[in-house]
Structure 1
């Protein structure tokens, strides 16, 4: 005869049920997959819809995303005891439309003006930690609106809509391919101190998937060579991974998991922009060379 379990002790059945519930709540990939897919599909539809409606609507969308990303980065910095001057940093989101209307030269001048505003704004405050605050402000301007503004340089071209669609598709393919292969086959950690779930197998999936999408998009959408699409996709995957690891490094240094909880299953806007921001200038240069 079996001895009854002590009062309050978990039975074998309750243990199995709680274990199953835990596995349901915490997927292997570490995020809410249905929510992530739904939000990701909505964001892609928003980008494509703005492009098809009017390119300037896409520029406005990127400007708003850059402003929210700057706000998230500012809040993260403040958790790390840095206080960049927020008003001039937010104004720097205007670099996105400046690049659309005035090109690369206007973007360079606008960036210089934005950096000057950060310096001037912080110079009238207290002297303590001024250098660190200015450095954080300049970094925020260079990291978010300056890189994001290269999408305006792409969309301003004659075939700008096709360039943006190609850029988005190869970057999303990199993220999706790396995620899928990493979950199924990931064994060898790539940078365990920064991103424990990122593996070399997942990186190979990122490069392969992005190169395949590039090989299809460049000839079909841009009338460019298929081999140019492979180069574009492979480099986009490499730089997208760098962007992802760079933001992971920032978050680890500041002691936070996500930039915010604005996007269910993803985190914040910056948690979605990390790979896109670093990939955008690479795609802009490659389009100029290959298409």
Structure 2
């Protein structure tokens, strides 16, 4: 194949142009074409030489290295920008794709709030002192309602948490133009929690069916078509996700030793979060679900198992009066269910394109962000405690 490289003054073939030099030549040609599209040939700033041509004052060896510049047609602005980008020093072939270099949109929460990216966060991704303060406040309210007030006070906290959670869920799905019928869902939530506390599992199931059916009919009567069917289906999902799962907490509370059962169940969930966070920050290396929840690690899961199992054994041998292996089982099963609930909500938020369900609890996000693991662990804890300790009524 013939060598078309230009020769220098001595008749020898010049060294091949480097990729950067070739990019610079293309850029000069593009600038010359863009500048001369309406005003004639562009000239250089040093003496009237047409832009892109070899200056007579240049050394004989320099001209071949630049290479000949062919006459060009007017180049669009996009081509000129591309030529400028090519002269940045990094080869175009080595540059990452545009989708990799483009900055990702700032994360948002369901109410549209965009977190301030200039506020530094610790390695765990949250403001730990604020999160601890909020968690202690919630814990004190729970303990006070269980042991110093009446059981009905804790039921009120459960109903309030469910109502706020449904409201946050309605705002989150609203980014996909889904409207939840909140009124029938809130009324049904009160009925489901009270029915579970006063009449047991059967009443909870009946109240759940009535709530889901009522919300479905309410939305369909408000307007037909595909949007109504979509909203009604979302209402059925919301019924099963929030108030139905929370009803198992009311079932535990109904036992004679209900406050201790509920406290043990909540302590397992808190141990899951604390043990997983501590072990993940200190030893986390292997991601558990990088697509769904990038911050979760297998090392953190092991930490959750260790701490939750220890807490479960202590509570079972202490106030609950059960065998030690039951506490071990309660801790292990609670961690599995709580982790599944956390991953499920992370998947839901990722699908909706929101970071948090709300901002009501600083350091935690929304109420639904705080109780996602609790909701999934409630039926598991209720079943285990019922099998080991009995109904307790």
For normalisation by structure 2, the TM-score amounts to 0.67
1:268 aligns with 366
Larger Rg: 2
Equivalent residue for 1:280, pick from 371, 378, 384: 378
3-state SS of paired residue (2:318): helix
Matched, 1:102 2:205: no
| Selected match of 2:271 from 173, 184, 189 | 173
**Residue aligning to 1:246:** 344
Residues 212 and 239 in structure 2, CA contact (< 8 A), matched pair in contact too: yes
Q: State yes or no: 1:25 paired with 2:120.
A: yes
Matching residue of 1:228: 326
Alignment of 1:28-47 (within 5 A): 28-47=123-142
**Structure 1: gaps of 5 or more residues:** 1-21
User: Structure 1 residues 24 and 123 mapped into 2: Cα distance closer, same or farther (>3 Å)?
Assistant: closer
- 1:285 deviates by 0.2
Moved more, 85-94 or 202-211: 85-94
2:240 alignment partner in structure 1: 142
The C-alpha deviation readout for 1:65-99, integer Å capped at 9, x for no partner, is 10000100011011122112121122222111221
Which residue does the alignment assign to 1:113? 210
The reply to whether residue 49 of structure 1 matches residue 147 of structure 2 is no
Question: CA separation of 1:78/1:23 partners in 2, compared to 1, >3 Å: closer, same or farther?
Answer: closer
Shift of 1:112: 1.1
* Deviation for aligned residue 1:125: 2.2
2:26 maps to none
Deviation at 1:126, TM superposition (A): 2.3
The size of the alignment, in residue pairs, is 270
Structure 2 Cα separation of the partners of residues 104 and 289 of structure 1: 14
Distance 1:25 1:32 in 2: 9
Contact 1:71 1:90 in 2 (8 A): no
Partners in 1 of 2:158 and 2:381 — Cα distance? 16
Equivalence for 1:257? 355
Q: For CA contacts below 8 A with separation 6 or more, give which structure has more relative contact order.
A: 1
Instruction: Measure the CA separation in 1 of the matches of 2:386 and 2:223.
Output: 45
SS state at 1:196 partner: strand
Consecutive unaligned residues of structure 2, counting only runs of 5 or more, are 1-116
Matched-pair contact (CA < 8 Å) for 1:171–1:275: yes
Computed over aligned residues only, the root mean square deviation of the Cα atoms, in angstroms, reads 1.3
Structure 1 stretch displaced more, 62-71 or 90-99: 90-99
1:237 matched to 2:335? The reply is: yes
Q: Tell me the residue number matched to 2:158.
A: 62
| Cα distance in 2 between the residues matched to 1:139 and 1:218 | 34
Do structure 1's residue 78 and structure 2's residue 174 form an aligned pair? yes
The residue aligned with 1:211 is: 309
Q: Is the 8 A contact 1:163 1:287 kept in 2?
A: yes
SS of match in other structure, 2:295: strand
More helix as a share of residues: 1
2:289 is matched with 191
CA drift at 1:135? 1.2
Q: CA deviation at 1:23?
A: 10
CA distance, structure 2, for counterparts of residue 81 and residue 185 of structure 1: 41
Kept in 2: contact 1:63–1:97 (CA 8 A): no
Whether contact under 8 Å (1:60, 1:97) holds in the other structure is no
C-alpha deviations, 1:131-188, integer Å up to 9, x for none?
Answer: 2111110111110000001111001001101101100111100110001000110000
Q: Give the conservation status (yes or no) of the 8 Å contact 1:111–1:146.
A: yes
